[in-house]
Chain A
Amino acid sequence: MFGFGKDDTNALTMNQPHPDSLLDTGVQGVISKPLDRVDGPKKVTGTATYAAEYAIENCAHGVLVSATKGHAKIKAIDADAVKAMPGVIDVITDYDTFIRNAQQGGETEAPTQGVRTVDYFGEIIAIVVAESFEAARDAAKQLKVEYEPLDDGAFDYEANKDKAEPAPDGLIKGHYDQGDFDKAFEGASVKVDVTYTTPSQNSAAMEPHASIAVWEDGALTLYGAYQMPTSDAQQLAKALGVSQSKVRIISRYIGGGFGSKLGIAPESVAAAIAAKQLGRPVKAVMLRQQVFDATVRRSNTEQRMRLGAEAGGRIVALGHESITSNLPDEDFFEPVGIGTHFLYAGENRRINHDVVRLNWTLSGSMRAPGEAVGMVGMECAMDELAEAIGMDPIDLRKVNDPEQDPELKVPYSSRNLTRSLEEGAKHFGWDQRQKAGQRREGDWLIGMGVAAACRSNQLQQSAAKVELHPDGSATVSSAMTDIGTGSYTIMAQIAAEILGLPVEKVTMSLGDTNDPPAAGSGGSWGAASAGSAVYLAAERVREKLAKAMGVKAEDLTLKDGMAIGDNRSVPLGELVGKDGLSAIGEIKPGQQEKQYNQASYGAHFAEVGVNVVTGEVRVRRMLGVFAAGRVLNAKTARSQCLGGMTFGIGTALTEELIHDPRTGKLVNHDLAEYHVPVNADVPQLEVHFLDERDIHANPIHAKGIGELGISGAAPAVVNAIYNATGVRVREMPVTLDKLLDHLPAL
Chain B
Amino acid sequence: MHFTINGQSHDIEVDVRTSLLDLCREHLGLTGSKKGCDHGQCGACTMLVNGRRVNACLTLAVMHQDDEITTIEGLGQPGNLHPLQDAFVRHDGFQCGYCTPGQICSAVGMMDEVKKGWPSHVTEDLGAAELTVEEISERMSGNLCRCAAYPNIVDAIREVAGLGDRNPNEDVGKEVAA
Interface residues of A (CB under 8 A from B): 32-34, 36-37, 39-50, 52-53, 55, 61, 87, 132-135, 138, 203-208, 253-258, 285, 287-288, 483-486, 631, 634-636, 638-640, 642-643, 645-647, 670-672, 676-680, 682-689, 691
Contact = CB atoms under 8 A, between A and B. Distances in A.
Contacts of B145: 206, 679
Given A41-B89, A484-B96, A33 B177 contact: yes
Nearest to A648: B148
Contacts of B153: 679
Interface string B78-101: 110100011011101011111111
B103 to A, nearest CB: 9
Contact of B95 (A634, A640, A686): A640
Contacts of A204: 146
Given A288-B36, A484-B147, A642-B150, 10 more contacts: A33-B173, A41-B81, A42-B97, A45-B72, A47-B78, A255-B98, A256-B147, A287-B38, A672-B39, A672-B41
Contacts of B35: 52, 208, 285
Contacts of A47: 32, 73, 77-78
Contacts of A672: 39, 41
Contacts of B37: 208, 288, 670-671
B125 interface: no
Nearest to A285: B35
13 contacts: A36-B90, A36-B92, A53-B31, A61-B26, A205-B96, A206-B36, A486-B95, A634-B175, A634-B176, A635-B169, A643-B146, A670-B39, A679-B137
Nearest to B170: A34
A48 B97 contact: yes
Given A33-B177, A50-B98, A206-B34, A635 B144 contact: no
B176 A689 contact: yes
A685 B149 CA distance: 10
A32 B86 CA distance: 22
Nearest to B27: A132
Residue from A40, A50, A485, A486 whose CB has the most chain B CB atoms within 10 Å: A40
B39 A288 contact: yes
Contacts of A285: 35
A46 B72 contact: yes
Given A285-B35, A638-B169, A686-B168, A45 B78 contact: yes
Contact of B100 (A44, A647, A670, A682): A44
A340 to B, nearest CB: 26
A285 B35 CA distance: 10
A255 B96 contact: yes
B140 interface: yes
B172 A53 contact: no
B101 A34 contact: no
B63 interface: no
B163 to A, nearest CB: 13
Contacts of A647: 148
A484 B94 CA distance: 8
| Closest 7 A/B residue pairs (Cβ) | A46-B32, A255-B98, A484-B96, A43-B97, A34-B173, A484-B95, A646-B148
A131 to B, nearest CB: 9
B26 to A, nearest CB: 6
A687 B170 CA distance: 12
A34 B31 contact: no
B49 to A, nearest CB: 17
Contacts of A691: 176
Contact of A133 (B26, B36, B42): B26
A689 B176 CA distance: 7
Contacts of B155: 684
B69 interface: no
Interface in B25-53: 25-26, 29-39, 41-42, 44
B138 A684 contact: no
A46 B33 contact: yes
Given A206-B42, A484-B97, A634-B177, A135 B15 contact: yes
